[in-house]
Every structure is written in structure tokens, then in C-alpha cells.
Structure 1
Amino acid sequence: MQVVFEDWDQKVKKTFNATSKQEVLTVTEAGDLLGMTKDQMKVYVLKHNLTKVAINRSVHRYLLLKSEIDEILGKA
């Protein structure tokens, strides 16, 4: 039996998406879509006041609303 590692952010995202009407992305995923590194994406989030979906038990981790990223990409 092989154990597959699941990134903690991905696990939280999966749980959130299963229980919410709003779809979310991790900071890394959003950055990948916009051609940015995770660190660049964090700066972008602050600069453009994107909605941060808080993750329980973590002050520094958050998810981003997929709808806002889609809007930036012109997919809305």
C-alpha cells in the first residue's frame, strides 16, 4: 500500500469547496494561473485587496476566491 502525500493547503481547499458555494484556489494555484510565484502572488493579493478566505488555525495561510481570479483573467 502506497501512502500519497496531500498538501495541507490542497486538503483545506478540497474541504472548503465541498461545503461552500464559493470555489477557492490556493495562493500557489492562483499564482500559476497569473504567471506568478507564490511570493509574487501574495504581494499581488495585498496590493489589489483580493478577498482572503481565512483558514482556521493559521494566521498566515489563506485561500483565494476563484471568481476573483477568473475576473482578473477575463473569464468572468
Structure 2
Amino acid sequence: MEIKVLGTGCKKCQVLESQVRRVVEALDRKDINITKVENIKDIMSYNILSTPALVINEKVKVFGRIPSSDEITRWIKEI
């Protein structure tokens, strides 16, 4: 599984990345690769309107806000 955190380094982007890493660790999912995407052209390719954004297996799950840990957990378990 591939999870991408899209953002240019803002505080909310950093919080989202930390939160995703905590959830993945709590789920003990060693098969998940987490990538931080900071290149604006790469971010724009996902057609999001604002950051931070969370992409799981190339599907945008949320943008413009920090989802709860429960939301992130649910999205991971849905895959």
C-alpha cells in the first residue's frame, strides 16, 4: 500500500504526516510505504484545491484539512 502526504511543508502538512505515521505504526502495517510529496507540480497533478492532502493508492481521500486518526484508520482498513 502506498500513502502520500501532499503539502509544501506547512504546519498542517507536518501534523498530517505525523498522524499518518502514528496510525500506520499502531496498526503494525509494515507493508505501507509513506511518502511526503512537496513538489508543487506533483501536488497539482492530483487536482486538489488546498493542502494538506492524503492520497492512498493514488486515490485522494481528503484535502484542505487534517482527518482524524479514526478516518485514516478506516481508509487504510478499506483497502
TM-score, normalization: structure 2?
Answer: 0.33
TM-score, normalization: structure 1?
Answer: 0.33
Q: Which has the higher helix share?
A: 1
Instruction: Select the structure of larger CA radius of gyration.
Output: 1
Q: Which has the higher strand share?
A: 2
